[in-house]
Chains A and B, each alone.
Chain A
Amino acid sequence: MHPWVGAGPEDRRQILSELGLQSIDDLFASIPSGVCVDGIDLPPARDEDWIRRTLGNMASTNISMDSIPCFLGAGVYRHVQPSVVDAVLSRAEFFTSYTPYQPEISQGTLQVIFEFQTLISRLTGLDTANASLYDGATSLVEAVLFSHRVLRGKRNLVVVAETIHPMYRRVLDTYTEAAGIDVAVVAPGDDGRLDPEAILEIAGDRACCIAVQSPNFLGIVEDLPVLAAAAHDSGALAVEVVTEAVSLGLLAGGGRFGFDVVCGEAQSFGVAPGFGGPHLGFFACASKHLRQMPGRLAGETVDENGSRAFCLTLSTREQHIRRAKATSNICTNQGLMALAATVWLETIGGSGLRELATSCLARTEELKRRLTAVGDPWRLAYPQSPTFNEFLLIGPGSGTELVERLASEGVLAGVPTTDWSGSWPDGVLAAVTERNPVTDLDALVNALEKLS
């Protein structure tokens, strides 16, 4: 017996007798004996107390971002977490339901997806968004494959900015290698920003898309209008990747500047860092390309009485209908994370989001000012370039060493670029959010001074 198994021994005997069977073993008679085992070599059942204690102890050997001043970012950010978000996520009507195949009893989930799509559409400046994808890295993959499809496979090169999160580029490599698509990487200029001329030169007339990230991996805001123009001059689609979605509270999404796809990671909107997942990929494009879009979509319609209703739509693009010809093999979205983002955005509100983003910006500028004042051997890698809430800091040692030494001073100073090498120097990427009070800034500055 176990609390999660609905039938006790007597129940089982009664059912077996109705079925005319002697033993449960009879039910498995169709399995050839050559593949059978009698039980598995795992420990016995554990009670809740044991589970809580054991996993609690395991978790306590980790250092949580909430326990000491923390400036970690690089694609995963710690923003305010209104208690409303987890309260809604904990409602069984949401978390114990599945894909809304039966719209008559799934209007809650469907309307949430529709609101999520609308929010992403308005933030990205494009008129269509899907119900979400696995994460930011795979959203870039989907954007590249989407571009390849839109241009009917005639252009086989993808030009990606070196300043797209290096992990995203690694993931992209895995897929493009399998799909036989070539990838060219374009390095930033001395100011950490992309040069449209360099893009045009590399793209030639072979590129199906030009993918850039803004704010980029170094935290620097790119000149999106000229990059979109460069992409279109070369006949390619323009793809913007966003890894810090809160930046969209202040910065216009690429759609306004002509980008054909804006995709990325929306973990910042109320999703826990969670050691990297589950997070929330998003994907927005112009409606003229809707039929090439990957992933689930909710659409508005009516019921038989003419009342507004929602349902999944355009599933003819998807694997369960199209099978081998589907636009993607994706079967699910990140439903519950899309719910988290929707609750988060609707709680924070439109003006609230701008205020929150402005708070990140103000704190970042203040920290940069203070670090500049500390001076030698500490310096900003790109002091002249505009950043949103993240920047690269150079100090006396490799980024990895600095992060370890600053951790022993009680500060999680950021993410080292040591293992993410590129045309930028080896240092520490520091991210600042509205959750870093001025005492955090003091703590980091004090720790740096000790190391000077």
Chain B
Amino acid sequence: MKRRAIRSEPLFFERNSRRLRRQGYLLPALDVPEIEPSDVLPPELLREPDPHFPDVSEMEVVQHFHRLSQLNYAVDEGLYPLGSCTMKYNPRINEQTARIPGFASLHPLQPQSQIQGALRLIWELEESLKTITGMPGATLQPAAGAHGELTGILMIRKALEARGEKREVVLAPDSAHGTNPATATFAGFRAQEIPSADDGTADLGALDRMMDETVAALMLTVPNTLGLFEHQILEISDLVHRRGGFIYMDGANLNSFVGRALPGLMGADAMHINLHKTFSTPHGGGGPGAGPVTVSEALLLHLPVPKVIRGDEGFELQWQDPASIGQMRGFYGNFLILVRALTYIWSLGAEGLRSMSDVAVLYANLIRHRLNGAYHLKFDAPSLHEVVFDDSIQTRHEVHNVDIAKRLLDYGFHPPTMSFPLIVHGALMIEPAESVAPEEIEAFCDAMLAIAKEVETDPQLVKSAPHDTPVGRVDEVRAARNLKVTWTPDDEG
């Protein structure tokens, strides 16, 4: 029997076109007296029934989402080598532990005697992250990496205030993630770019010229977005510290050196850790993540509240702290994500975490080795967990990185991150992570090499890709020109 290939699925709002009421869920029986809402609530505040919000049966819902799911690519399907995103395997045990009722059905405002296990979990994960980074303090509150950046930069701001200093500038290399300058602006600073040196790492000479008494912090990704370790990291942090600034470390690439090096030794004052990258919590189609921040001695006092403290009679939440930057979000962080991350750390243990980084770096180097030559490598220096090629060989045939990416879809792989970092024109940023078998890395390399050949023999085939996906190439320009971000029924025009 031939399986029906699912190419599209009507919108929920287009279902049940007869608008007849069906039942999707049986609510608990009403065992108290019935009530007319307008007897209790001001009638003018009540909602009119919405004829375009249908009621459908349970199986219609299941089919709807099953079919939608078939239109997605996912980590479980194949290599997902999105540079800077660390798309690794999401262990199933994580999903089980996060659903234990004592965690999942716990209210954040219960008395402390009723939440000791949850506070212990937070404390345990803070301790683990402190060990992994070699830094003395941690907060698990930030909801994502960018939120962690903001938390760190606000702590730096607070520390400067405590010293009676007002510094206005935050520096970041031109290879930095876009969140770095966006965070600096959001926190009230002026973002300034430091040019990269010829080898792709931060230019120490430029830093020396720019690092003056107006600079609050340097935001640095280690290894950087080219996968290159900042070999002058000690000189850089020493220079910044001597001139009264702080080092904010973007920990997006921590997956490359766990058990090999410590940010604490590199001079980091604050560093966010994307639990959804290094520590395997699922990316969920775009969140929720978690972006805990570890800090040096210099920022310890300014960690956000509430803090989890281990006291004589168990764990406590400390809400009041005048030196703190305050609270960064509701409650205590994306707690169920924290449960998954601790599950991962405990499962791997010290040796496992180290081999995680070892193999992530090994795979990236294998890809680099196999593709070098077929694709151009602008910065040909030893790299760690990711490698950034560009399309300069292919543009001779008028094929661009986006075409290569779309053609990879036909080969059954998710493409690399494209056009980032900005300092590599036409970038293809590949990060394989450590989870897949070597055969899959090789199959990806074979696909990339086959595409490189196609570019020479049949460039049109590549430029018109993808040919074998649920929808053809999507018109993103039109989406932005004729904005339509909600479904509107015909009768509402």
Contacts and interface: CB of A to CB of B under 8 A. Distances in A.
Interface in B171-195: 177-179, 181-188, 191
Nearest to B262: A37
Contacts of B13: 115, 118
Contacts of B350: 39-44
16 contacts: A1-B355, A5-B435, A35-B233, A63-B106, A84-B61, A100-B286, A105-B72, A108-B68, A137-B327, A179-B188, A278-B334, A311-B479, A319-B181, A323-B178, A330-B147, A335-B288
A223 interface: yes
Interface string B131-173: 1101000000001111101100010010000000000000000
Contacts of A27: 358, 361-362, 365, 382, 384
A54 B102 CA distance: 13
A75 B406 CA distance: 44
Nearest to B134: A37
Nearest to A139: B330
B459 interface: no
Looking at chain B's contact residues, the main secondary structure is: loop
Interface stretch (A120-128, A195-203, A375-383): A120-128
Contact of B356 (A5, A78, A347): A5
A129 B483 CA distance: 12
Given A84-B61, A363-B32, A275 B332 contact: yes
User: Which has the most chain A C-beta neighbours within 10 Å: B177, B362, B366?
Assistant: B362
Interface in A290-328: 290, 296-305, 307-314, 316, 318-326, 328
Contact of B179 (A91, A95, A248, A329): A329
A87 B50 contact: no
Interface in A330-371: 330-337, 339, 342-343, 346-356, 358-359, 361-363, 365-366
Determine the interface band of chain A, counting residues with CB < 8 A from chain B: 35 or more
A403 interface: yes
User: Which has the most chain A C-beta neighbours within 10 Å: B93, B97, B288, B384?
Assistant: B288
Interface stretch (A168-176, A231-239, A443-451): A168-176
A126 B207 CA distance: 48
Interface string B2-13: 000001110111
User: Which has the most chain A C-beta neighbours within 10 Å: B41, B108, B111, B365?
Assistant: B108
Contact of A170 (B12, B157, B327): B327
B146 A104 contact: no
A72 B110 contact: yes
Given A100-B286, A437-B31, A252 B46 contact: yes
B25 A44 contact: no
A250 B329 CA distance: 28
Given A97-B285, A324-B185, A349-B55, A316 B480 contact: yes
Nearest to A336: B284
Interface stretch (B210-218, B392-400, B466-474): B466-474
Determine the interface band of chain B, counting residues with CB < 8 A from chain A: 35 or more
A185 interface: no
Nearest to B44: A225
Contact of A36 (B144, B261, B283, B365): B261
Contacts of A65: 105-107
A22 interface: no
A122 B345 CA distance: 42
A400 B113 CA distance: 12
B285 A94 contact: yes
A360 to B, nearest CB: 10
Given A55-B339, A104-B473, A311-B474, A62 B32 contact: no
B89 to A, nearest CB: 6
Interface stretch (A13-21, A150-158, A205-213): A13-21
Given A91-B65, A99-B286, A346-B56, A61 B116 contact: yes
B241 to A, nearest CB: 15
A62 B106 contact: yes
B430 interface: no
A384 interface: no
B75 A96 contact: yes
Contact of B343 (A55, A84, A108, A323): A55
A190 interface: no
Nearest to A14: B438
Given A42-B131, A324-B185, A361-B35, 15 more contacts: A59-B101, A80-B27, A97-B75, A102-B415, A104-B470, A108-B68, A115-B11, A129-B485, A129-B486, A131-B286, A171-B328, A276-B108, A278-B336, A330-B147, A362-B34
Nearest to A48: B93
Given A98-B80, A277-B334, A31 B257 contact: yes
A336 B471 contact: no
Contacts of A57: 117
A115 B355 contact: no
A167 B154 CA distance: 19
B285 A4 contact: no
A216 B476 CA distance: 41
B282 A277 contact: no
A274 B469 CA distance: 37
User: Which has the most chain B C-beta neighbours within 10 Å: A84, A87, A308?
Assistant: A84
B280 interface: yes
B179 A52 contact: no
B32 A90 contact: no
A317 B282 CA distance: 26
A51 B32 contact: no
B144 A134 contact: yes
